[in-house]
Copies of this chain bind each other. A is one copy, B any other.
Amino acid sequence: MAPGRQVDLNSDMGESFGPYRLGETASLMALVTSANVACGFHAGDPRTMAATVELARRHGVGVGAHVGYPDLVGFGRRAMTVGDEEIATDVLYQIGALLGFTGAAGVPLRHVKAHGALYIQAERDRRVAEALVEGVRRCRQPVTLVAPAGSEMERAAVACRMPVAREAFCDRAYRPDGTLVPRSEPGSVLHDPERVARRAVRLAADGEVEAADGQVIPVPCDTLCIHGDTAGATQLATAVRAALEAAGIGCGAMDSPALAPPPPAPG
């Protein structure tokens, strides 16, 4: 491992809505380095956005737009067949809305991450990936796109020279081909903080993980996702953060100067 290695820890934040509370935003904000802020389409509302951005500012956490499908009742987790221009303009609308709040708080918008079904579709579907990236590109801000290494999203971003932070998941089981074991399968989500923390260190230090079949596979990783809506999220994040520090790996927002440069275009 290179000296001075650093990794970003990102978490979904601001998923409350009106009278409803969701997630452990307040306690997680002290542990992560990037906050993916819901923008009102799949979760979040203007008050929640304002409070979440302000909380991130106070903790020096990087703020990003967590953009999703317009499906509040389904929490943006239902796949939709949405046209290119619909995706691009929905993404731009959500980024813009968040820019209102980052502007008010005097902090930059640092990254964009797709949520739920949009993330999953943009991972594999070139058309969706390109529409997503087109929406991000139009906002004309120097933002980083969060995307798994090797995904269509990464490819589309690289193609228009948009910085990418390659995302890995320390609490999810991987298949040998580098994709995640679906949540519907047993053992897909890891709950033991010790084990999750060890995987986090290996991903951050060496860019590799042990797949479900025991094979060690490469998973390039600039940012680790810390799930915020699962029970015990804060405990898990605390263990990950401690293990990284013990291993001499710093934590910093994904677009900080110490971050590795975005990956070259594949092929």
Contacts and interface: CB of A to CB of B under 8 A. Distances in A.
A153 interface: no
B72 A78 contact: no
Given A96-B96, A99-B96, A89 B47 contact: yes
Copies of this chain, complex-wide, total 4
Nearest to A96: B100
A57 B111 CA distance: 28
Contacts of A141: 103
A58 interface: no
A203 to B, nearest CB: 28
A101 interface: yes
Interface string A179-200: 0000000000000000000000
Contacts of A78: 80-82
B139 A104 contact: yes
Contact of A82 (B18, B45, B74, B104): B74
Contact of A97 (B18, B80, B97, B103): B97
A19 interface: yes
A49 interface: yes
A56 interface: no
Interface in A74-117: 74-75, 78-82, 85-86, 89-90, 92-101, 103-104, 117
Contact of A73 (B17, B49, B96, B139): B17
26 contacts: A17-B20, A17-B73, A19-B22, A19-B43, A20-B20, A20-B22, A46-B92, A47-B86, A50-B92, A70-B71, A70-B73, A71-B80, A78-B81, A80-B81, A92-B100, A92-B101, A93-B97, A93-B100, A94-B97, A96-B96, A96-B97, A96-B98, A100-B138, A100-B139, A103-B138, A103-B141
Interface of A: 17-22, 40, 43, 45-47, 49-50, 70-75, 78-82, 85-86, 89-90, 92-101, 103-104, 117, 138-141
Given A93-B100, A99-B100, A100-B139, 10 more contacts: A17-B20, A20-B22, A47-B89, A89-B101, A93-B97, A94-B97, A95-B100, A97-B97, A103-B140, A104-B138
